[in-house]
A and B are shown apart, each in its own frame.
Chain A
Amino acid sequence: MSERDESVAQSHEVTERAVWRALGEVPDPEIPVVSLVDLGVVKAVEIEGDRVRVDFAPTFMGCPALEVMQRMLAEKVEELGVEAEVRVLLDDSWSTDDITPEGREKLRTAGFAPPAPRPSGTLELVQLQRGFRCPYCGSTDTRLENLFGPTPCRSIRYCESCRQPFEQFKTI
C-alpha cells in the first residue's frame, strides 16, 4: 500500500467512527432515552468521498415515526458537512435481538420491559404470557394485558405485585 492509499484509508476510518458517534446521539423519537444506535436499527454506514449512506431498518413497518427517524439521521450526518442518504431496509435484517445491552438497560430504566429473545420457531402466545420482570419493582408476577399498545412495537403488561401497568418492547 502506498503512502497516499494509507492516509485515505485512515481518514475513512476516522470519518466512519465520527458518523457512528454522531448517529449515536439520535434519540428514538418515541422512547427518547434510547438512541437509534442503541436499538440496533442503524445497520450500516458507507462513506464515499463527501457522501455518506446510512442503512436503517424500521422496527415495525407501520411505525408512524419512520419518516421522522429517517430525517433525523440524515440531518445528524449532514451536520458533519457531508451529503447524507438514508436508505430504509425493507427486509428481515433487524431483530429486537439487535438491541444493545446498554439499550436494554436504558429501556428498563425508562419503565419498558426489554423484549424476550426471538424464538427459533413460530411466536406463540404462551411465550408472551410468561412472567416478565416488572421494570419498576422487579417482580415476575406480571401478566400480558394487551398484545398491542400505543405504537406497533409495544405491548401492555401489568404487574400484580406493585399494581403498575408497564410497556414491553415486542419481540420481532
Chain B
Amino acid sequence: MSARTDLLLSIADDELILGWRDSEWTGIAPFLEEDVALSSIAQNEIGHARALYELAAAELGTSADELAFDRRPAQYRCAPLVQLRRLEWARTIARRWLYETADEIRLEELKGSDDGELAGIAAKMNREEAYHRLHAEMWVDRLLASEEGRRRFFEAVDELWPYALGVLDEGLRSELRRRVEERLGRELPAAEAIERGRHEPELVELWDEMTMVRRSAPAGARW
C-alpha cells in the first residue's frame, strides 16, 4: 500500500469513527440545539470519510463501502482518541476540540501538498471543518467561564492529551502543543503519544455495531 493510501485511510478512519462517536449523542445530548449540532457534525465527518475512502478505493480497486465496513477492526488506522466511547459532556467537548485543533494543523499541511487531489480535498474539508471548530471553540469559551467548567474541562484535556498527540505525525505535534497551551493559557503535562495502530477494546464494540447490518446480508441488500 502506498504512503498516500495509508494517509488517506488514516484520516478517513478518524473521520468515520469520530463521526460515529458523535452520532451516539443523537437524541440524548444535553439540549436540543446540541442534539442537532452533534448529529450534523457527525453526518459531515462521515461525508469526509466517504470522500477520502473513494480516493483510496480508486487506488486499491475497491469501493468506499468496502473500506468502511468490510475490514477487520485491527485493520482500521484511526487514532485511539476517536475510538473512546461516548464520554461525559466536558470530555466530549475536550475530545472534539482537541481533534479539531489537530485536524486543522493536518489539513493546513495537506492543502500545500503537491498532490492536487489531496490538496483539493483538504481545502474543501477545511472550509467545512471551520464550522466544527467554531462549535468547539464556543464550548471551550463556555466551559472556561465558570470555575466548575474550567476544572472539568482541564481534567478532561489532561486525560486526553496523550491521545490527542497520537492524531498527528511526530513533526506536527509541537505545533499542536503550542496552540493548545496558548488557547488554554496553561502548560500541558509532558506526555508520550498514544499512537495510531493501537486498538482500544471499545473500537471492537463499535465495529461490531457499525457493521452488523452489512454482515447480516453478505450478498448485499436492496431496500
Contacts and interface: CB of A to CB of B under 8 A. Distances in A.
Interface of A: 58, 60-64, 66, 90-93, 122-123, 125, 128, 145-152, 156, 170, 172
Given A62-B46, A63-B47, A146-B33, A90 B128 contact: no
Contacts of B51: 61, 90
B124 A149 contact: no
Interface residues of B, number: 30
Nearest to B47: A62
Q: Give the residue among A58, A63, A90 with the most B Cβ atoms within 10 A.
A: A90
Interface of B: 33, 36-37, 39-41, 43-48, 50-51, 54-55, 117, 120-121, 123-125, 127-128, 130-131, 134-135, 137-138
A90 B51 CA distance: 7
Contact of B124 (A91, A128, A170): A91
B50 A61 contact: yes
A149 B54 contact: no
A61 B54 contact: no
A66 B43 CA distance: 12
Q: Give the residue among A61, A91, A147 with the most B Cβ atoms within 10 A.
A: A61
B41 A148 contact: yes
B131 A170 contact: yes
A172 B128 contact: yes
Given A61-B125, A170-B131, 16 more contacts: A62-B43, A62-B47, A62-B48, A64-B43, A90-B51, A90-B117, A91-B123, A123-B131, A123-B134, A146-B33, A148-B41, A150-B36, A152-B43, A152-B44, A152-B47, A152-B128
A152 B50 CA distance: 15
A148 B55 contact: no
B121 A149 contact: no
A141 to B, nearest CB: 20
Contacts of A123: 127, 130-131, 134
Nearest to A61: B47
